[in-house]
Structure 1
Amino acid sequence: MITGNKGEWSEIYTLFKLLGDKQLFLGNKNIEKLEGIVYPILRVLRTENNGDFEYSIEDEIILISGGEEVLKIAITEFKEKAKFLLEKIKTNKERTFSVPKIEEFMQSISCLSLKASSTSKTDITIIVHDQRTNQQPTLGFSIKSQLGSPSTLLNAGKTTNFIFKINGIIENKEIERINSMMVKRGKKESADLKGRLKSICLNNRELKFYKTERQIFSNNLVLIDSRLPEILSEIVYEFYSSKKSSVVYLVENINFKNPLNFDVSNEHKFYEYKIKRFLTDIALGMMPSKVWAGQYDATGGYLIVKENGDVLCYHIYNRNEFENYLFNNTKLDTASSNRHGFGSIYEENGEFYFKLNLQIRFL
């Protein structure tokens, strides 16, 4: 029996939905269809444990394996199964669940697992017809579903900690008091990070960005843009010292304050442009713990499964829409300070430091 969570079942839903629709709809920054632009789908490619399969769209769906036609399936079959599966995903209350009727259909079309077998971030590969250029590009996608919990764009870790130096006098007794500040969330207590940060900055003390905890992450950021470590440190600090979390708001605020003293006399969007570059590189392959050479993963974009079942396409092939989608639909989030080792004042060589963590999640 195949079991999976809502996100995993969304991958199969996407396969069925695209084969039933026979076309790919582009999305805008607000996750709405871009009117008048569609890509007719020619083929969908999927790698299973037992081989590579191709779903060719003609009057019917033709399943091809090893260059040989294996099966023909009516397009209406995929439409019906997509509708049925969407309802099951939306109404199920379990963390993981099975859908026997869909599993039976999956096996009949040589679809043996929920997740496509892949070494990259690519969940599905689609060959489309671009009517504007008359080309047939092969586009790889990672599938992001709004049917389950919001997924992370950048996972938290010690790799994503930013270290700040405390300038000003702070006594040991006060350090103990600040490091013990907690806040209740439901039945659990967790570190009061915003309260601790506010207390540090009393009595003319200030936090000054020192460095990222891991040099690889810093170098990756510098590769994208030489000022990016400083810019991100400002955004992280802004997040922990305000009540807002959306990337759009945080960048707008930083742009207004202009802490890096860019020449904004002609209203250049320095911060917005650089953060969009960062989000795009994170989405398409950059990881904080690995040396980033600027090579995008095999995937070139995202397919978003909306709550109403629509599937929208964002791809580096249409870079502006992709960047605007990431910029407008992400926020900073607070990870576990215990697990990732941040949020407490510590001393090194007679100097005092405080770490804040960067985690980015979809709205």
Structure 2
Amino acid sequence: MITGNKGEWSEIYALFKLLGDKQLFLGNKDIEKLEGLVYPIIKILRTENNGNFEYSIQDEIILVSGDEEVLKIPISDFKDKALSLLNAIKQNKERTFSVPEIEEFMQSINCISLKASSSAKTDITIVVHDQRTNQQPTLGFSIKSQLGSPSTLLNAGKTTNFIYKINGSIQPQEINRINSLIVKRGKKESADLKGRVKAILQNNCSLDFYKAQKPIFSNNLVLIDSLLPEILSQIVFDFYSSEFSHLTDLLNKTADKNPLNYDIENEHKFYEYKIKRFLTDVALGMMPSQVWTGIYDATGGYLIVKENGDVLCYHIYNRNEFEDYLLNNTKLDTASSSRHGFGEIYEENGELYFNLNLQIRFTK
């Protein structure tokens, strides 16, 4: 029996839906269809444990081929199964669940697992016809679903910690008090991170960016833009010291402060441009723990499975729409401070430091 969560089942839904629609619809920053812009789909490629399979679209028939075997499946079957699966995903309240009727159909078309075995960021590979260039590129897409919990764009870890030096003096007793500040949500207790930052500032101290905790992440950021560690450290600090969490709000706040003293007399969008570059690189391949070469893994972009069942494409050909989507639909989120080692004042070589963590999640 195949079981999975809503996000995992959404990958199979996207496969069925795209084969049923026979085309990719492009989306804008508000996750709505861009009218008149579509890519006809020629075929979808999928790697399973038992081989490589092609789902080729020919009129109203899908040809499923792998090794010798060729199956002919009516497109109406994919449309019907997509609708059934969408309803099953929406109605299910369990964290993981099975859909026997869909599993039976999956096995009949050599689709034996929820996640195609592929590289880290690519969930589905599609060959499209690009009418502008008259070419047929093979594009890898990462699938993000709005049917389940909002997914993360940048996962938290010690790899995404920023270290701040505390300038000013705090008495040991006060340090213990600050480090013990907690917040209660129902029966759960967690570190009061915003309260701790506020308490440090109330002791007439400042939190000044020192460095990113891990050199690989720091150098990945510098590769994208030499001043990106400083820009992100300001955004992270503003998240933990204000009411803002949406990236657009935090970015505007940083741009207003202009901490790097850019020449903004002619209204150059320095901060927005650099953060969009960062978000795009994260979306298409950059991971904090691995050396980033600048080579995109998901060569196509993102597919978004909307709550209403539409599947929208954000393509790096349409880079402006893709960047606007990423910026407008993400927020900073608080990860576990105990697991990732941040949120407590500590001393090293007679100096006080405080770590804050960067995690970016989609808003929908």
TM-score (normalised: structure 2): 0.98
**SS, match of residue 78 in structure 2:** helix
1:17 positional shift: 0.2
1:259 positional shift: 0.9
- Give the unaligned 5+ runs of structure 2: none
Distance (whole Å) between structure 2 residues aligned to residue 279 and residue 300 of structure 1: 15
**In 2 relative to 1, CA 298–144 (structure 1 residues): closer, same or farther, beyond 3 Å?**
closer
Amino acid at match of 2:252: E
**Structure 1 match to 2:343:** 343
**1:211 and 2:211 are equivalent in the alignment:** yes
Contact kept, 8 Å, 2:224 with 2:278, in 1: the verdict is yes
Distance (whole Å) between structure 2 residues aligned to residue 361 and residue 158 of structure 1: 17
1:360 positional shift: 0.5
Amino acid at match of 1:326: L
**1:118 and 2:118 are equivalent in the alignment:** yes
Contact kept, 8 Å, 2:146 with 2:304, in 1: the verdict is yes
Contact kept, 8 Å, 1:22 with 1:40, in 2: the verdict is yes
Once the two structures are superposed, what CA deviation does each residue of 1:180-215 show, in whole Å capped at 9, x if it has no partner? 111111211111111110110124311110011111
Once the two structures are superposed, what CA deviation does each residue of 1:223-250 show, in whole Å capped at 9, x if it has no partner? 0000000000000000001111011110
Contact kept, 8 Å, 2:170 with 2:203, in 1: the verdict is no
1:137 positional shift: 1.2
Distance (whole Å) between structure 2 residues aligned to residue 267 and residue 126 of structure 1: 40
- Give the unaligned 5+ runs of structure 1: none
Contact kept, 8 Å, 2:119 with 2:297, in 1: the verdict is no
**SS, match of residue 130 in structure 2:** coil
Amino acid at match of 2:23: Q
**Structure 1 match to 2:255:** 255
**Structure 2 match to 1:245:** 245
Amino acid at match of 1:65: G
**Structure 1 match to 2:199:** 199
Distance (whole Å) between structure 2 residues aligned to residue 266 and residue 55 of structure 1: 51
Contact kept, 8 Å, 1:146 with 1:306, in 2: the verdict is yes
**1:359 and 2:359 are equivalent in the alignment:** yes
**1:28 and 2:2 are equivalent in the alignment:** no
Cα RMSD, aligned residues only = 1.0
Tell which deviates more after alignment, 154-163 or 293-302. 293-302
**SS, match of residue 201 in structure 1:** helix
Distance (whole Å) between structure 2 residues aligned to residue 251 and residue 119 of structure 1: 31
Contact kept, 8 Å, 1:62 with 1:69, in 2: the verdict is no
1:58 positional shift: 1.0
Q: Identity of aligned pairs, percent?
A: 78
1:53 positional shift: 0.7
1:285 positional shift: 1.1
Amino acid at match of 1:61: I
Contact kept, 8 Å, 1:120 with 1:299, in 2: the verdict is no
Contact kept, 8 Å, 1:42 with 1:127, in 2: the verdict is yes
Q: List aligned pairs for 1:146-295, cutoff 5 A.
A: 146-295=146-295
Distance (whole Å) between structure 2 residues aligned to residue 120 and residue 203 of structure 1: 45
Structure 1 consecutive aligned stretches of length 4 or more whose deviation exceeds 6 Å: none
Distance (whole Å) between structure 1 residues aligned to residue 299 and residue 155 of structure 2: 18
**Structure 1 match to 2:72:** 72
Contact kept, 8 Å, 1:125 with 1:140, in 2: the verdict is yes
